[in-house]
Chains A and B, each alone.
Chain A
Amino acid sequence: MLPPSFEYASPKSLSEAIGLLASRGEGAKVIAGGQSLIPLLKLRLASPSLLVDINRIPGLNRIEESGDLLRIGAMTRMAEVEASALIRKDYPIIHEASEVIGDPLVRNLGTMGGNVSHGDPNNDMPAVMLALGAEFVATGPVGERTIKAGDFFMDTFTVALNHDEILTELRVPRCRPRSGGCYLKLEQKVGDFAIAGVAVQVRLTKEGECEEMGVGLAAVGPTAIKARRAEDWMRGKRPMGGEAVQELARLAADESNPSTDIRGMSAFKKQVVALLVSRAFKRAYQRAGGAS
């Protein structure tokens, strides 16, 4: 299958890329790893007049902690995230998601920035970023601005980037003591999208109460979902016994809005969400140092 015809530019700098996007309007589209966009082009579900390839722009590929942040460059490949010792040790929720996105070949090209800015509700990393309370840096003609992950995913394939902006960095609050996270995904086969994916991040007080709480859901709604009611309910609670976790799982499942499709009935997927939230919370809680 050949994609429809388009023009192609491979700028060497961010300002050149933004200039191209600004001058060409809605017809221009950024290509990063291309692992979602090229299949869409071949299926003729996208037909941009110009592809702006950002693969040759230096400086967009890094994983580093600085100040209160973990900063991940938008062009960092999923395979690089998967192989990062820092991410594996201190951000297991990101590591676990990086291992189950697509397959090894997809992960060799697919990028962190592409995974979130594509706006596909079936992608895994948006749920993780929602649970972590991440921010995204958008660079446009007038400079940089940051967008909270919670404000970023507006609708299916629609995110809060303007047409002349490029997502350049993902910023995650730096790992702190007594915090832990977990990403769990149920899939029919390797490389498939999730039946449901659940990301849970928690930080405990010295007394073992949930001080900070993040829950993100993948593949169970028109966008990735931040389960705010579940988060609010759990904050300040000490999750002793199974009942609090059960209620957390019930609230999160209630906030999901899955459609019935080839991967299962809506009601089934809600049950999967509840089960995965319960399991992911327990693992995140243990990683945060809470008693099991």
Chain B
Amino acid sequence: MDGRIPIAVTVNGVRKEAEVEPRLLLVHFIRENLGLTGTHVGCDTSNCSACAVLMDGRVVKACTVLAVQADDREVLTVEGLSREGKLHPVQEAFLAKHGLQCGFCTPGMLMSAYALLKWNRHPTEEEIRKGISGNICRCTGYAQIIESVQQAARSRQW
């Protein structure tokens, strides 16, 4: 059991194989092994969710999951939202409603918003606030983020 462990993770629909140390965090696997730097490392202490990704359809903190735990699972990162060069309606809504200031929290916000809308296509404002309550925007731009999610919920282009 010593040393590296082989894993195969389906990331944004593509199967990725690697041998990793058990202590490697999923977020580092995504950023450093796969070069997908859209997933951000914010606090690295499980507080801010800038590193949010979907694993088997549920949004999780990639800094609080081991890469070996993602073996044989499906991971969706912010890079996987767009299709054929076209932004996802959630991304379009953040663009239209100015749902970002510095942009650092945005990938995580997008993934939490996407996960929320996947389970609940017509959330109330309170449900949106609860849905993104794990994601911290250090610019405190929450009002426009909530409007962005509302706009995304209205979109018919899903």
Contact = CB atoms under 8 A, between A and B. Distances in A.
Contacts of A1: 44-45
Contacts of B68: 8, 10, 53
B1 A105 contact: no
B118 interface: no
B60 interface: yes
A103 B59 CA distance: 11
Contact of A8 (B22, B112, B130): B22
Interface string A89-118: 000000000000011111011000000000
Interface residues of B, number: 30
Query: Which interface residue of B24, B45, B66 has the most chain A CB atoms within 10 A?
Result: B66
A191 B23 contact: no
A39 B134 contact: no
Contacts of A103: 49, 133-134
Interface in A193-211: none
A8 B4 CA distance: 10
Nearest to A38: B64
A97 to B, nearest CB: 15
Interface in B106-154: 112, 130-131, 133-134
Nearest to B46: A39
B58 A108 contact: yes
B133 A34 contact: no
Interface string B1-42: 110010000000000000001111100100000000000000
Interface residues of A, number: 31
Give the one of A6, A7, A105 with max B CB within 10 A. Answer: A105
A22 to B, nearest CB: 16
Contacts of A41: 23
A7 B1 contact: yes
A35 B112 contact: no
B134 A191 contact: yes
A106 B61 contact: yes
Contacts of A39: 45-46, 64
Interface of A: 1-10, 34-35, 38-39, 41-43, 50-51, 53, 55, 79, 102-106, 108-109, 190-191
Given A38-B66, A106-B61, 9 more contacts: A3-B23, A8-B5, A34-B64, A51-B66, A53-B68, A79-B58, A104-B59, A105-B52, A106-B134
Interface of B: 1-2, 5, 21-25, 28, 44-47, 49, 52, 58-61, 64-66, 68-69, 71, 112, 130-131, 133-134
